[in-house]
């Protein structure tokens, strides 16, 4: 999985992904600021791919044209308000609301231009319907740009507002509603999102990027930004989040930093049990 890219995606990432060869590749959006370069690159990948676009992907274009061009490039790989069945992984991925900026519920002008004035309940209905139409035997992952409400209201929580006081829960209420409905009817092992960067503003430390709720659903914030870096030894780093599913059970999740040649240099393990489908 790749968190918010913010322009940091190039040939070295494509080559590295080919080396790592996950069963599926999930991208949580904010590819850039409305440019088409990264959507074009993602659309050409060999790996089974699901991508949700983020608020930055509108490019501040109220007409929605920049967003639509990226959706057209991604084609069936764009999972906003719909399901992608990824083969041969045997994985169903359902996307949340496209181009979300968090903060409860808000539609940008660009989103309204493409989809109209969708209410929070209508959005939750779309996510729920797509999820419940999936084969119940297949593992299901929800992929959103912003995570749901309900994961905490402190700045360091997975969807906590950290850029201005007071800290508060900045998640999406429509996604939270959908998750609650889905959990009543089928297993939901994993929800993946980004938007709220791991590194907190004003040097306030690191965000809590993983938790599991009382129903057993895991929530993984993949937004390590910047995802390209250099360590203290001068080695180039590329960040990916990694998850492994065994049926409807998450058995491994981690944040990983690789060299462009595919060497695993650092790993932050979030959960570890025995394994199966990687993404």
Three-state DSSP state, 13: helix
112 Ramachandran zone, left/alpha/beta (phi>0; psi -120 to 50): alpha
For residue 276, pLDDT over 60 is answered with: no
For residue 237, pLDDT over 80 is answered with: yes
Cα(266)–Cα(217) distance, integer angstroms: 26
Domain boundaries, the chain: 11-278
How high is the pLDDT of residue 272?
Answer: 86
Does the pTM of the predicted model rise above 0.75? yes
For residues 253-263, give the mean pLDDT: 98
How high is the pLDDT of residue 274?
Answer: 55
Which is nearest to 173 in space by CA: 238, 109, 106, 78?
106
Per-residue tokens: 235: 């080695």
Which is nearest to 25 in space by CA: 109, 89, 118?
89
How high is the pLDDT of residue 203?
Answer: 80
For residue 2, pLDDT over 90 is answered with: yes
For residues 237-263, give the mean pLDDT: 97
Contact (Cβ atoms closer than 8 angstroms) between residue 138 and residue 90: yes
Mean pLDDT (the chain, rounded): 96
How high is the pLDDT of residue 101?
Answer: 97
How high is the pLDDT of residue 279?
Answer: 52
Cα(277)–Cα(246) distance, integer angstroms: 6
For residue 202, pLDDT over 70 is answered with: yes
Locus of tokens 């209201």 = 153
pLDDT digits (tens, 9 = 90+) for 23-62: 999 999 999 999 999 999 999 999 999 999 999 999 999 9
Confidence of residue 204 (pLDDT cuts 50, 70, 90): confident
For residues 63-83, give the mean pLDDT: 98
pLDDT digits (tens, 9 = 90+) for 128-145: 999 999 999 999 999 999
- 217: cis peptide before it, omega within 30°? no
Backbone angles phi and psi of 178, in degrees to 5: -65, -45
Q: Which fold has domain 11-278?
A: Purple Acid Phosphatase; chain A, domain 2 (3.60.21)
Three-state DSSP state, 142: strand
Contact (Cβ atoms closer than 8 angstroms) between residue 22 and residue 279: yes
How high is the pLDDT of residue 275?
Answer: 46
For residue 166, pLDDT over 80 is answered with: yes
Backbone angles phi and psi of 223, in degrees to 5: -85, 70
Those residues with Cβ within 8 angstroms of residue 216's Cβ, 6 or more apart along the chain or in another chain:
187, 189
């Amino acid at each position: 999985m790749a968190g918010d890219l913010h322009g940091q995606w190039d040939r070295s990432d494509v080559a590295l992904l080919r080396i790592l060869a996950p069963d599926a590749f999930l991208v949580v959006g904010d590819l850039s600021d409305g440019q088409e370069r990264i959507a074009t690159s993602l659309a050409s990948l060999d790996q089974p791919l699901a991508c949700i676009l983020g608020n930055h992907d509108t490019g501040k274009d109220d007409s929605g044209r920049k967003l639509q061009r990226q959706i057209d490039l991604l084609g069936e790989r764009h999972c906003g308000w719909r399901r992608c069945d990824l083969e041969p992984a045997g994985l169903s991925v359902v996307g949340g609301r496209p181009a979300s900026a968090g903060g409860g519920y808000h539609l940008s002008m660009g989103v309204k231009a493409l989809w109209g004035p969708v209410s929070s309940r209508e959005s939750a209905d779309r996510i729920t319907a797509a999820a419940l139409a999936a084969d119940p035997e297949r593992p299901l992952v929800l992929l959103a740009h912003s995570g749901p409400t309900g994961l905490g209201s402190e700045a360091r929580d997975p969807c906590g507002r950290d850029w201005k006081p007071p800290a508060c829960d900045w998640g999406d209420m429509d996604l939270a509603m959908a998750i609650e409905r889905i959990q009543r009817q089928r297993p939901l092992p994993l929800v993946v999102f980004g938007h709220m960067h791991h590194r907190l503003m004003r040097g306030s430390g690191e965000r809590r990027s993983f938790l599991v709720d009382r129903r057993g659903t895991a929530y993984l914030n993949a937004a390590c930004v910047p995802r390209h870096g250099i360590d203290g030894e001068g080695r180039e780093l590329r960040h990916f989040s990694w998850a492994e599913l065994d049926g409807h059970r998450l058995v491994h999740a981690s944040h990983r930093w690789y060299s462009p040649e595919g060497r695993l240099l650092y790993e932050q393990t979030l959960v570890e049990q025995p394994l199966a489908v990687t993404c």
